[in-house]
Amino acid sequence: MEPAQVLYELQTLELKIAADAATLEAERAKSKEPLALRQSRATLKSLELQLTGLQREVRSTEQEAEAVNAKKAAAHARLYGGAVSVPRELAALESEEAALALTLSQLEDRELDLMTSAENTEKSLASATQRLDEELDRWRREGSAAHEHIGQLEAEVERLQAERAQLAGQVSAANLSLYERLRPRKANRAVALVKDNMCQACRVNLPSGDVNRARGADPPHTCDNCGRILYVP
């Protein structure tokens, strides 16, 4: 094969390798736990901690209410048990019982509010758990397909790289060096196909003499306009 043809085929292979490598990277990203899933886990953990805290507060409030109720019952018993007859002491017991009754009422209201919050948090936790399970199931299904595709892509890239090395071995060091110098400057498209006397990269019409000189040239002929290596099939 003429040098320009080998370089054009080499370029085609390298573009395919680059495309497969980008797809491979995307598939590998799919196999990692996505941000949305990590956020769902964090939400679930936060709700679990919130529920645990509320349940702890409910138990603490219950215990406090039981203690206050016991004190109230004791004050009531002393007030109406007949053991206390001094008016001042009876008035003090009445005040104490009234204060304890108010405290107990406040604790019972607080306990009710906490139980309502705990119930709502349990519902949110159940919804978050279901949502996380659904997201995990979807991610695992996608991940399974991604793992299979990753294996196929890795094998394909390896095959293409071997083919690229074989092709590069058919090009002289000077021509390969020219190609490698042009690649980064020409967006990885160092070789331009010539069709109907036109450079397909810059879309400039080429003189027939340039096209004839480019056909089979060694070293390869370059486009006077864009500087790419010209390949005339």
So what's the pLDDT on residue 148? 79
What does each of the 233 residues of the chain score in pLDDT, given as a tens digit? 899 999 999 999 999 999 999 988 888 877 777 888 889 999 999 999 999 999 999 999 999 999 999 999 999 999 898 888 889 998 999 999 999 999 999 999 999 999 999 999 999 999 999 999 998 888 878 777 777 788 888 899 989 999 999 999 999 999 999 999 999 999 999 999 999 999 999 999 999 999 999 999 999 999 999 999 999 99
So what's the pLDDT on residue 143? 74
Looking at the structure of the chain, the number of domains it has is 2
Same domain, 112 and 204: no
The domain containing residue 49 runs over which residues?
Answer: 3-168
Same domain, 42 and 151: yes
Q: At 122, which CATH number? A: 1.10.287.1490
pTM of structure: 0.56
Q: Pick from 151, 168, 185: which residue ends a domain?
A: 168
Same domain, 61 and 91: yes
Same domain, 209 and 116: no
Same domain, 189 and 164: no
Same domain, 67 and 41: yes
Same domain, 191 and 94: no
Q: Pick from 141, 168, 195: which residue ends a domain?
A: 168
Same domain, 192 and 127: no
Same domain, 93 and 194: no
Same domain, 39 and 70: yes
Same domain, 113 and 12: yes
Same domain, 42 and 104: yes
Pair of tokens at residue 10: 């080499």
Q: Pick from 122, 148, 168: which residue ends a domain?
A: 168
